[in-house]
Structure 1
């Protein structure tokens, strides 16, 4: 993953557009990727990986924290508005259709998912 967040946003935007996202959904994907990557760069040892893929139902991004510092409690911590910051993961949870955290081989995988089709109840 690049430390150049402008380049990261441009790549995620291009990928999302090719995958069929547009308008606010595409913008939300870019913001979520930016916030997740920023979290890894600031709090995860400064290095990580972003993996993107597409399937029949949507777009997935895995933002991998190679330092394995991200925990489930980080995903559900409310920001401290008096101190500023801390709202990035809340924003990610709000913008994405699915967010989950998995740990594997000493790495934390923050999985972000955006559906390309409207969700429909069974």
Structure 2
């Protein structure tokens, strides 16, 4: 059974969102380093929504016995050719953001639908050492 921890619309108040994510990470039992990973990964996904998605979207977080999952919903959607790069192109902010998200999380899934993108980030609660 999962426990819902966060539902927040995406807006320009990133400081408040980051503070809420830190609280969610701590509540879920993540180590401090992993809380930082969570905040960085979600921040990058939200920046993409603000930059390319016209700021329409939301952030949801829930946990089960094994992981903390955050879903960032972009109501504008990404073009279907978007993919997670093996190596980032630092001159392309989107490519770099996807790479950072993949490095910070245990699992990154992107579900592209017409007019909607779901970015799901998962961090394991098992072997969660400092």
TM-score interval (norm. to shorter):
0.7 to 0.9
Retained in 2: the 8 A contact 1:71–1:101? no
Correspondence list, 1:7-26, <5 A: 7-26=16-35
Deviation for aligned residue 1:5: 0.7
Where do 5+ consecutive residues of structure 2 fail to align?
1-9
Correspondence list, 1:10-89, <5 A: 10-69=19-78, 71=80, 73-76=82-85, 78-81=87-90, 83=91, 85-86=93-94, 87-89=96-98
User: Which structure ranks higher in relative contact order (CA pairs < 8 Å, sequence separation ≥ 6)?
Assistant: 2
Correspondence list, 1:101-120, <5 A: 101-104=110-113, 106-118=115-127
Deviation for aligned residue 1:85: 3.2
Deviates more, 1:86-95 or 1:54-63: 86-95
**TM-score, with length taken from structure 1:** 0.85
When residues 72 and 57 of structure 1 are mapped into structure 2, their CA distance, relative to the original with a 3 A threshold, is farther
Counterpart of 2:105 in structure 1 is 96
Provide the aligned length of Structure 1 versus Structure 2.
118
RMSD: 2.1
SS in 2 for 1:39: helix
Distance 1:27 1:110 in 2: 18
Where do 5+ consecutive residues of structure 1 fail to align?
none
**TM-score, with length taken from structure 2:** 0.80
When residues 7 and 88 of structure 1 are mapped into structure 2, their CA distance, relative to the original with a 3 A threshold, is same
